[in-house]
């Protein structure tokens, strides 16, 4: 085993700043503002860059350098975003973030003329710019601007929209979230005692193996959601109204078109994905029927969907987990392992939970010139090992793009954002199962199926729910909580089937589901995992295919997802492609059923 020098388990943010009170921040803000103002002063009053490819090359090189070095808020914005995650209850950090937000919005409004004017280059002239050899590094960036130009509003209108999004929708969302998060209830805990738990802690207790614990927590959750459903009704209607108004003003033909345009994914591909998954809801129903049988109940209550089967008692220290993940990555490709080594040895992973730290896990990146950082809340559980692999997959994706692309292509299309993470996570789980006993293997397979069903089938059902509430709102003009609840229950039942009871109160569980506050975002979970599964199958058949996987992960925003996949011989608008990923889930389910029979569980 290759030894890793894990010296730091908290972020080393020194590449960004010396600390919260770094005196250089003010000087850097002046520098960022001066650089942006210089660009605006040089180019706002000119039109030669929209007439001459050579002049546009000069302007784009300067624009790219601006976004590579500064973005809209430089190191200060990234630093305080990360510090806010380390200390969520710190009001001074929140105030600092708000000031940075205001600063960046002003700069964005000042400079947005540049892209808006490029987008207005006449259609007859666009091919000349796209074919210009000097603009080859920006070809797809320009193609995207041209393709989305028809949805742009005037410069003053766009500036207003940058300002009103937060008060029109964001503040509503924050309000409902705060109402929920401040709720506390005394409840039974897994150690047999009673204690006050906040809303998120109550949600986590729903997965308790102790039925009395999860049932009492579920009753508290139902009560809390019922308490706030009237406010959430107003919130959702406000979001629906705002989205309809902006969509009509921009000229979108359907409610989810804005998401597809923003994510650079063809509507045909998303439609094929959702239709193919929906046609295969029987797989999810089979899974829940299997879980009910394994748990010895005729039906699962709605809140018991995620109750784990069996137990995984083995503990994994962070040190052991890092070595295990490194070993799996090295087997896949040496560069994956080398990037991961840098993360764990250079203070780019904040490992352990502590008071005030953000829950969950994420991988963050901002500018081309800034480090990737990963947040964990590591507690020595097997799931933490998989989370480390998952977030490191995002990080590896970032670093591969950084090596190949410029600042204007340094990101991942949302449709493929979960590919690298789930790809790495699944290979780590596969490694963990190699030496597992049949009993442990059954537990791990059920755990993996639960993740797959939730990521693919549940999120696709939620997408269909979103489609219906947006359509119904546009017809009726307002949706009551009963309207929303009935639609929600219908779509949840559609994928769960008879093995999961739509328990009283479950019609209100949309109240806390954050994803619907970012409309039509959820397809990306299903698309990312199904693409990942198709790639995993190809790598298992031919390990040399990893070279094409790396090429895909390096592409960033340099081309459309459709073209990137077409270069690999894949048509993502073809339902058979999505079905190939679903076959991987079906195969795992069939193997799990056979193992359960072998062990005498069925």
Specify the number of domains making up the chain: 3
Query: Mean pLDDT for the chain?
Result: 94
Quickly list DSSP for 310-348. S-------HHHHHHHHHHHHHHH-HHHHHHHHHHHHTT-
Position 190 confidence tier, pLDDT thresholds 50, 70, 90: confident
The pTM (predicted TM-score) of the whole model is 0.89
Residues 244 and 262 in one domain: no
Residue 66 belongs to what domain range? 24-152
Residues 546 and 462 in one domain: yes
- Provide the CATH number for the domain around residue 135: 1.20.140.70
* Residue 4 counted as domain residue: no
| pLDDT at residue 3 is higher than 80 | no
Residues 234 and 272 in one domain: no
Residues 234 and 136 in one domain: no
d(CA 32, CA 112): 16
| pLDDT at residue 1 is higher than 80 | no
Segment 316-369, tens digit of pLDDT:
999 999 999 999 999 999 999 999 999 999 999 999 998 888 878 999 999 999
d(CA 456, CA 589): 14
Size of the chain in residues: 602
Q: What H or E segment, with its residue span, contains residue 263? A: helix 257-263
pLDDT (0 to 100) of residue 387: 95
* Residue 180 counted as domain residue: yes
Residues 265 and 234 in one domain: no
pLDDT (0 to 100) of residue 569: 80
Residues 392 and 494 in one domain: yes
* Residue 13 counted as domain residue: no
Residues 268 and 406 in one domain: yes
What six digits make up the tokens of 116?
């808006």
For residues 283-295, average pLDDT: 97
- The distance of Cα 68 from the centroid of its chain, to the nearest Å, equals 23
Check if the beta carbon of residue 400 is closer than 8 Å to that of residue 338: no
Residues 185 and 278 in one domain: no
The single-letter DSSP state of residue 184 is E
For residues 401-428, average pLDDT: 94
% the chain with pLDDT above 90: 81
- 3-class DSSP assignment, residue 353: coil
* Residue 316 counted as domain residue: no
- Provide the CATH number for the domain around residue 543: 1.10.1370.20
What six digits make up the tokens of 455?
């990521």
Check if the beta carbon of residue 521 is closer than 8 Å to that of residue 413: no
Segment 86-97, tens digit of pLDDT:
998 899 998 999
**Which residues lie below 8 Å from residue 22, measured CB to CB, with a gap of 6+?**
none
For residues 20-39, average pLDDT: 94
Nearest residue to 145 via CA among 78, 59, 66? 59
Residues 512 and 447 in one domain: yes
């Amino acid at each position: 085993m290759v030894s890793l020098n894990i010296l730091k388990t908290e972020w080393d943010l020194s590449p960004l700043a010396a600390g919260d009170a770094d005196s250089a921040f003010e000087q850097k803000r002046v520098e960022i503002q001066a650089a942006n103002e210089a660009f605006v002063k040089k180019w706002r009053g000119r039109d030669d860059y929209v007439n001459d490819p050579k002049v546009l090359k000069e302007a784009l090189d300067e624009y790219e350098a601006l976004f590579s070095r500064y973005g809209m808020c430089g190191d200060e914005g990234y630093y305080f975003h990360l510090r806010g995650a380390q200390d969520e209850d710190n009001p001074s950090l929140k105030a600092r973030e708000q000031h940075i937000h205001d600063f960046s919005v002003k700069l964005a409004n000042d400079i947005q003329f540049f892209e808006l004017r490029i987008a207005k280059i006449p259609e007859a002239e666009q091919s000349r710019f796209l074919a210009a050899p000097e603009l080859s590094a920006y070809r797809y960036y320009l193609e995207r601007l041209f393709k989305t130009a028809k949805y742009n509003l005037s410069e003053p209108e766009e500036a207003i929209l940058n300002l009103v999004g937060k008060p029109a929708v964001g503040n509503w969302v924050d309000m409902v979230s705060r109402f929920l998060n401040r709720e506390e209830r005394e409840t039974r805990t897994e150690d047999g005692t009673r204690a006050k738990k906040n809303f998120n802690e109550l949600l986590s207790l729903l997965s308790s193996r102790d039925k009395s614990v999860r049932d009492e927590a579920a009753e508290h959750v139902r009560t809390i959601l019922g308490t706030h459903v009237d406010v959430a009704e107003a919130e959702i209607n406000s979001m629906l109204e705002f989205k309809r108004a902006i969509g009509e003003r921009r000229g979108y033909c359907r409610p989810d078109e804005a998401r597809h345009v923003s994510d650079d994914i063809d509507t045909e591909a998303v439609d094929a994905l959702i239709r193919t998954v929906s046609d295969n809801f029987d797989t999810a129903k089979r899974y829940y029927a299997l879980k009910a049988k394994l748990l010895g109940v005729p039906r699962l209550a709605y809140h018991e969907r995620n109750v784990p089967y069996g137990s995984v008692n083995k503990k994994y220290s962070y040190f052991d987990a890092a070595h295990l993940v490194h070993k799996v990555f090295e087997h896949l490709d040496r560069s994956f392992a080398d990037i991961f080594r840098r993360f764990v040895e250079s203070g780019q992973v904040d490992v352990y939970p502590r008071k005030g730290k953000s829950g969950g896990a994420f991988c963050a990146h901002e500018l081309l010139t800034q480090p990737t950082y990963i947040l964990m809340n590591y507690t020595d559980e097997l799931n933490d090992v998989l989370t480390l692999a998952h977030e490191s997959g995002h990080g590896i994706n970032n670093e591969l793009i950084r090596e190949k692309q410029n600042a204007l292509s340094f990101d991942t299309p949302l449709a493929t954002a979960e590919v690298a993470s789930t790809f790495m996570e699944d290979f780590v789980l596969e490694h963990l199962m190699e030496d597992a006993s049949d009993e442990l293997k059954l537990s791990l397979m059920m755990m993996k199926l639960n993740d797959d069903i939730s990521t693919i089938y549940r999120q696709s059902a939620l997408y269909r729910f979103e489609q219906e509430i947006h359509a119904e709102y546009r017809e009726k003009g307002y949706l009551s909580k009963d309207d929303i609840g009935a639609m929600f229950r219908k779509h949840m039942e559609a994928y769960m089937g008879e093995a999961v009871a739509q328990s009283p109160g479950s019609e209100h569980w949309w109240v806390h589901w954050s994803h619907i506050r970012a409309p039509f975002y959820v397809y990306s979970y299903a698309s990312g995992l199904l693409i990942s599964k198709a790639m995993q199958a190809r790598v298992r058949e031919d390990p040399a295919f990893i070279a094409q996987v790396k090429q895909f992960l390096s592409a960033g925003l340099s081309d459309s997802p459709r073209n990137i996949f077409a270069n690999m011989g894949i048509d993502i608008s073809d339902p058979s492609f999505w079905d190939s990923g679903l076959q991987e889930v079906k195969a795992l389910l069939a193997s799990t059923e056979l193992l359960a029979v072998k062990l005498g569980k069925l």
